[in-house]
Structure formats: structure tokens, C-alpha cells
Amino acid sequence: MKFSAIAGVLFAASTAWGLSTKGIQNLLHRRLPAHANDFQFWLVNVKTNDTTNDHYTVTTTKKGEILVEGNSLSALSSGLHRYLTDVAGVDIFWYIGSRLDQAPRTLPKLTDVLEGTSIVPWRYYFNTVTFSYTSAFWTWEDWEDQLDWMALHGINFPLAWAGQEKVLVEVLQELGLTDEEINSYLSGPAFQAWNRFGNIQGSWGGSLPTDWIKKQYILGQQIVGRMVELGMTPIFPAFTGFVPRNISRVLPNATTVTGGSWNKFPEIYTNDVFLEPSDDNYALLQKSFISTMQRDFGQVTKYYTLDQYNENNPYSGDTEYLRNISRYTWESLKEADSEAVWVMQGWLFSYSASFWTDNRIEAYLSGVEDNSDMMILDLFSESSPQWQRTNSYYGKPWVWCQLHDYGGNMGMYGQIQNITQNPIAALANSSSLQGFGLTMEGQEGNQIIYDLLLAQAWSSDPIDTETYFKNWVTTRYAGAKSIPKGLYTAWEAMRTTVYNNTDPNISTAVTKSIFELIPSISGLTGRTGQQGTLVTYDPAVLVDVWKLFYQAAQSEKSLWNNPGFQYDIVDITRQVLSNAFIPAYNNLVSVYTGNSPTAANINAAGKALITILQAIDNVLSTNKNFMLSTWISKARSWAPSSAIADFYEYNARNQITLWGPNGEISDYASKSWGGLVSSYYIPRWEMFIGYLNSTAYASYNNSAFTAELLTWELEWNNETSRSTYSKPGNLKKVLTEVATLLSIAI
């Protein structure tokens, strides 16, 4: 007998006759030990199927305890979160961590019942690539923070990729492939997401060590165990069909096709071999993969993530072919797990819209003959929704997702209107909409925008964002003796500007700073779309916000030591300086292309750029969340030897810079990090200024400069920093220097 998702939770719970609330109590012990005994959790009218919404109530008992009742574990943690944020005024955040221990010594009593009902049964989390852009090198402690954050924010449907390579390797070994053949297929620690998608294969700069596979497997088991304990239904990987090239050696008669080439990668690293689902071996491998997943990670889910054509078009556009592919794939899943539900990222339909015409989508989806056996993630719903043109995916259940961020880019950005109004409109218009979710490529600084959509999953009307921001600010700076009014004013100013982009012609996602791009005299400014460089608001607004922040800490000194405040003022300063870089850059270009482009004039204009970049590096280097050394030292910490640590560091450096052995998608996942600005971007701009002062405009040759630069970039990628991370600098001192630099009166 197969376990359903609910039965799976039962299986994992400590009592045989019901769900255990032990996971939530453990969370309290971790995060709020002083109040661990002040809460009671009761499951009532426990939901028995995956289409029921979650419901909680929170009250104070006669004995003064806070009683949370709910129909699921996720309802209980959502009710707990509601009390903690709205009543106790505390929360848990990405990067800055849990601030729940700042709750009042005596917990406030409730006079009224707090009550909440979700408007969708599922709250989905993660993009396949988040596992590479953000969590590639996370430790178990990082995951514990993240999973507590997820549980409290009502997430009940997360992807669970970590550790899958161990399973894949075992399945391929059973088939008779050698370790060398398998290893030649696997990608490095920072690039596994695209290997899992079948976009790339193999590893440059070194090969994936067995030690990595083993350690990630153990980590993956811990993650899944905790997800289940906290009431989440993990989504497991499945066998996709992508296999090592030498599959033909062990299965000489197998039907395979070669996938497309991805971006500008050389053939050796792309064009993955795809075993056609119609081949008898496909179902056998699926069965082997899924039974190994269940054996090693538990029979805790019936949901499987499976993407065959992400940024990789099918071999044929013939509708019968497409329908066959999905029908055989679906049958393979059902043979392996009779309850299986196929979860698919819908990105292909937006990214490859010219291939994926409506009738091809319909054909591909129709191969899954029972609608309830599939779940589509409408991946970029806030800007490029596909559910309307596909008539709600022709009846398949789907999830309204906010993507918001590409490549872990760091600009301040948000669309408060589209993420509150559009999901509500969709719910009214589509009966197969079953969840809201977050599918960012990387987690970054605009957390409020992610929190907002998750909150929207519990409100049948579009949330009043003015009130929402106010409450969020209160919890964000919990622990400060008081929260100056200026901080509320500052966030209100950001709500209506920075976080209220409505124009897709300007931008559809987090913006990028132009200094993170390869220097050039054209093409950097004015970019629109997914990694746009156009600032979507009046930059002066953010300077005012900066002043309000600085003044707030001057009037309330405890803010200088408040981690929420420290994080935000660094992020805002980063953005203010990035915005100031644009006119300085424009000036350099006009000096160079103008009437007196002397070396001295070019150098003077160029020096202004370097000064701003140095200031950016200084401010970022005050906070470990904005430092290159944090990323690198975490990567190195996974390695069993210094040679392997050097390979992990190469992976870490390469992903955020060249992204590929020779800059195949250079700067896609660029970061504004202390240590990266000073060691990578500043030298690039200095070389550019040097190129300009020695090259007449008439002879300017961008490809010549870029080629020269690549030689240096490749060397930087090979550098190793054996030191642990650098000590952060003094924030207040750096901020006064920034004020002087930008002539801001403080």
C-alpha cells in the first residue's frame, strides 16, 4: 500500500494515531526558549485531503497560556506566527535570523480570538535554481533558520533537491555505468541546478567529489526530516530522462535524443542526452529512482518535481510526439508510485513562448490524462503569467508564483500591486488554482515583498499594503528601545516608489547595478526587463530614505546594534551609491566621446567612479551578509582537503562572475558584495579607464577590451583565499564618509 501525503506525515510522526505537534514545540525551544511552555498547540478537525484550506484560532487560556488550534501543522505554525508578529511584535528574517527572542518577557494576553483561514491549500517555495544561487553551500544551521522561517510563514509545499545526486548515481550504477561515466555527467557544487534541469553536464575546473555527494545526501535527509516534522509536504526529485553520454554503452538499443545547447556553452558541457520516456528503460529507471528516494528519504510525499524542457526545447514540435512524451512520463511515475503527482515549473512556456504555442502546451499537458496527477507552477505570475492563455493549464491544478529575482541580483524592487491584486483576481477566475508560491532564483534583500505574497495567501481581499508595511517595520526592528517615526516614514516612502513598480516597460524584476556589468561605453544603462538597469523610481526618494534611516539611529542609538537596522541601512546605502554611479558613469562616457578627451580628463572622470565603488565596498564590508568571504568560506568549509576546497572556491567565484569556464553567461548572477567590489569590479573599471585613456574614441573596440579583460577575469576565478572571512568594518564611520561623498547633510 502506498502512503498518501497525509499518511506520510503520520508515518513520520512520533505517535501512531495522529499528527505530532512536536516539531512546532521544538521550533519554540530553538527560537523562544523562555516562552516554550507558554504555548499550547491543538489539532482540531484535521484536514484529510490536499484541497482543504488551513484554518487556525489563537486564544488565551484561563491559565494564561496562548492556545493555538488548527486543522493542520501548517495552520498551527501560521497561527503561532500571527500571534508573534501581530501581538508580540517579533519575527524571523532571512539573513538577520530569528528575532523571536525579543518578545516581551510577559506575553500579551488576547482579548479577542485571532483567526485565520488560508484561501489556497498550498504555499509553495523554491525554484530549482535557488538551490544553486542561494543555498549551494548552506550548512545545516543555515537550513534550520530557513526551515523555521518557512514553517512560520505558512509554507507547506517546498522543493527538496538536496542530496538527490546520491540517488541518481546509485540508479545509474545499477544500470552498469562506470563511476567515470557517471562522474563525467555531474556538475560542480555551484551548478547542480542546471545539471538537474538537463541544461548542462560535466564540471569545469575539477570534478564533483564523492565526498560532496555523500555530505549533501546526509544534509538532504536532515532537511526532509525537518520539513515533515514542521508539517510541510516535500516535493521530491524524480528521474527526468537526462543521462550520461555513455548510456549507449550499457543500453545500446535505447531511444535517446540529444538536447539543445544551452546559452553559449561548448558542446562538452551541454547537449545532454535524453532517454525518451517511450523507451521501456525509462519506466524501469523511474521505478528505481523513486523507490530509492523513498527508501532513503522516507515515504513522506507523493509529489515529484520533473522538468524535461526547461530552456531546452523538445526534439520535435509534433503534437502527438509531445503528448506521447508526457503520457509515458506520467505512466512511469504512476508505476513507481500509484499516488504520484507530477509537479512542473511552467517557466518554459514563458521563456520559450515561440516554441510553446497554445496547441503544443495543450498536447503536452494532455498526456497526463488525470488532471489531479499534475501541478503546474505558473512561475512568473506577477509579470508573465501563462495561466490565462492556457485556460488555466487546460484544467490542471496550478500555483500562482512570484519570481521577482533573477540570479540572486540585489537591487531594491517590488510590485506591491501585482502581487496583492493579481493572485486574488486569478483565484476568482480559475477553479484549478491551488496555491501561491515563491520561485525566486535567489533570495535577496527585498524580503518584505516575499512576506507580502505569503500573507496574501490568508486574505481573500488584496492586502492593504500601507498597514502591512507598518506592522512589518515594527517587527523588523524589534529589540530597539523604541522605533523612531522616521523609520515608518522611510518605509512608507519606499512602499509607494521603490516597491511599487507598475510599468513592465521599465522592469519586471529586481534591477542590476551597472557597475556589476563588463565596462563599456554603451549598453549598460537603460536596460529593461528581467535584469534591467533602469531605476524604477526617482533616486532622490532613496536619498531621503537614507537620511531618515541615519537620523533614526542618531535619535535611537540602540538601532546601531540592531541586526534588522544594520542590514537595511547597508542595503539602502548600497542602492543609493549604485544609483549615484550612473550619472558618474554617464559623465565619463561624455568626457571620452566629447571635445577634450585628454588622458587627464578621462582619469579625473574615471576616478569619481572608483571612489564610489570603494565607498560601496566599505559599506558592504560592515556586514557579513554582504561579504564575498561569507560565500567563499562557506564553500570551502564543505571540503575534506585543501585541494577540494580550492575547487569549491573556484565554483563559488565562477558562479557569481564568469558563470561558465569562459564567461558563457558572465555577470548573470553578479552580486554587490564587500570584497567582490574591491577585488573584481574595481580592477575591471580601472582597466577600462586605462583602456579609454590610451585609446582614441575613433579606435574604440569593445571586443578587444573585453578579450583583454577575460584573461584577467579567468585569473581572478582561479585565485584562492584560504583565510576565513574578514572582520566587518565600522558601520557608522563608513556612513559618515558616504554622506560626505554624496554631499548629504546629516
Ligand X SMILES: *[C@@H]1O[C@H](CO)[C@@H](O)[C@H](O)[C@H]1NC(C)=O
| C-beta closer to ligand X: residue 418 or 651 | 418
Q: How far is the CB of 454 from ligand X (least distance, A)?
A: 19
| C-beta closer to ligand X: residue 40 or 52 | 52
Q: Is there a contact between 77 and 231 (Cβ–Cβ < 8 Å)? A: yes
**CA separation, residue 418 to residues 529, 538, 730 (Å):** 16, 20, 39
Angle formed by the axes of helices 280-297 and 210-229, to 10°?
70
| C-beta closer to ligand X: residue 607 or 624 | 607
Q: How far is the CB of 703 from ligand X (least distance, A)?
A: 4
Query: What φ, ψ does residue 583 adopt, rounded to 5°?
Result: -65, -35
Q: How far is the CB of 546 from ligand X (least distance, A)?
A: 20
| C-beta closer to ligand X: residue 357 or 496 | 496
The enclosing H or E element of 693 equals: helix 682-693
| C-beta closer to ligand X: residue 180 or 370 | 180
Which of the 8 DSSP states describes residue 504?
T
| C-beta closer to ligand X: residue 178 or 366 | 178
| C-beta closer to ligand X: residue 141 or 252 | 252
Q: Long-range contacts for 738-744 (Cβ within 8 Å, ≥24 apart)?
A: 738/573, 738/576, 738/577, 738/615, 738/619, 739/550, 741/611, 741/612, 741/615, 742/543, 742/576, 742/577, 742/580, 744/543, 744/546, 744/547
Task: Give the residue among 374, 340, 338 at the shortest CA–CA distance from 1.
Answer: 338
Task: Give the residue among 516, 502, 501, 512 at the shortest CA–CA distance from 534.
Answer: 512
| C-beta closer to ligand X: residue 178 or 221 | 178
Q: How far is the CB of 541 from ligand X (least distance, A)?
A: 12
Q: How far is the CB of 536 from ligand X (least distance, A)?
A: 9
Distance between CA atoms of 188 and 207, rounded to whole angstroms? 7
Q: How far is the CB of 323 from ligand X (least distance, A)?
A: 7
Q: How far is the CB of 6 from ligand X (least distance, A)?
A: 11
Q: How far is the CB of 64 from ligand X (least distance, A)?
A: 32
| C-beta closer to ligand X: residue 163 or 519 | 519
Q: How far is the CB of 98 from ligand X (least distance, A)?
A: 30
Q: How far is the CB of 392 from ligand X (least distance, A)?
A: 5
Q: How far is the CB of 30 from ligand X (least distance, A)?
A: 31
Q: How far is the CB of 704 from ligand X (least distance, A)?
A: 4
Beta bridge partners of 345: 377
List strand residue ranges (DSSP E) for 270-340, in order.
Answer: 273-275, 303-305
Q: Is there a contact between 306 and 333 (Cβ–Cβ < 8 Å)? A: yes
| C-beta closer to ligand X: residue 114 or 714 | 714
Q: How far is the CB of 516 from ligand X (least distance, A)?
A: 19
| C-beta closer to ligand X: residue 623 or 666 | 666
Q: How far is the CB of 27 from ligand X (least distance, A)?
A: 26
**Beta strand 122-125 with 433-438: parallel, antiparallel or unpaired?**
parallel
Distance between CA atoms of 511 and 529, rounded to whole angstroms? 9
Q: Please classify residue 410 by burial: count the beta carbons closer than 10 Å to its beta carbon, then call 0-12 exposed, 13-18 middle and 19+ buried.
A: buried
Where do we find the cell 517557466? 347
| C-beta closer to ligand X: residue 120 or 627 | 120
Query: What φ, ψ does residue 377 adopt, rounded to 5°?
Result: -95, 110
Residues that bind ligand X (CB under 6 A): 47-49, 51-52, 178, 180-181, 184, 205, 246, 249, 252-253, 318, 320-321, 324, 383, 385, 388, 391-392, 415, 417-418, 422, 425, 429, 496, 500-505, 508, 599, 603, 606, 686, 689-690, 693, 701, 703-704, 707, 714-715, 718
Per 3-state DSSP, what percentage of the chain is helix, strand, and coil (rounded to 5)? 50, 10, 40
| C-beta closer to ligand X: residue 703 or 743 | 703
Distance between CA atoms of 614 and 555, rounded to whole angstroms? 28
| C-beta closer to ligand X: residue 59 or 508 | 508
Collect all residues with Cβ–Cβ distance below 8 Å to 699 and sequence separation of at least 6.
none
Give the DSSP per-residue string, 331-357.
HHHHHH-TT-EEEEETHHHHHTTTTS-
Q: Is there a contact between 398 and 378 (Cβ–Cβ < 8 Å)? A: yes
| C-beta closer to ligand X: residue 139 or 701 | 701
Three-state SS at 98: strand
Where do we find the cell 488576547? 110
Distance between CA atoms of 259 and 246, rounded to whole angstroms? 15
Q: How far is the CB of 2 from ligand X (least distance, A)?
A: 17
Distance between CA atoms of 433 and 423, rounded to whole angstroms? 9
Hey, what's the cell of 506?
Answer: 521599465
Q: Is there a contact between 202 and 185 (Cβ–Cβ < 8 Å)? A: yes
Q: Is there a contact between 497 and 541 (Cβ–Cβ < 8 Å)? A: yes
